[in-house]
Amino acid sequence: MTTSQLHPDDYEALANFRYAMRKFLSFSRRALKTEAQLTPEQYEALLALKACSRESGLTIGQLSERLQVKHHTAVSLVNRMEEVGLVRREPNEEDRRQVFVRMTPKGSQILDQVAILHRQEIRLRSPEMIEALTRLRE
């Protein structure tokens, strides 16, 4: 698609969607800081562990893929989260070279607390996001 194929309404819809996303992300940063002393990256990691891990957890590689960060960035993130008791590393019983990251009960409790706030905010903001996305699909 070239620029000539876009209509003024398309630009408006793109702008409105990004604006709605920015408002949500701004809310998220404030809520994570005040309610749980989490960074957005820590919250996203906890979400990934809760939603995507099997009983064993996720490897650092799997977590870095979910977060779309480099491996060493995921290692640093896990190190910081482990220091504050949100996650723990557990070796794979079949292959000791492989290490899984699992959420601790503390991490799970904090995630539950802030995920509820995020769901409420998404429910509040979703109509404007859906409207913008619908306009872009036409």
**Structure confidence at residue 98 (pLDDT):** 87
- Tens of pLDDT, residue by residue over 56-69, are 789 999 999 999 99
Specify the CATH number for the domain of residue 121.
1.10.10.10
Q: Report phi then psi at 50, rounded to 5.
A: -70, -45
What sign has the CA pseudo-torsion 79, 114, 130, 11? negative
State pTM to two decimals: 0.88
Q: How does residue 4 score in pLDDT terms, banded at 50, 70 and 90?
A: low
**Measured in whole angstroms, how far is the alpha carbon of residue 69 from the centre of its chain?**
12
28 or 2, higher pLDDT: 28
Q: How far apart are CA 22 and CA 4, in angstroms?
A: 27
Q: Which helix (H) or strand (E) holds 81?
A: helix 71-83
Q: What is the pLDDT of residues 46-55, one digit of tens each?
A: 999 999 877 7
Which one has a higher pLDDT value, 37 or 5?
A: 37
Euclidean distance between CA atoms 121 and 32, whole angstroms = 13
Range of the domain at 50: 3-137
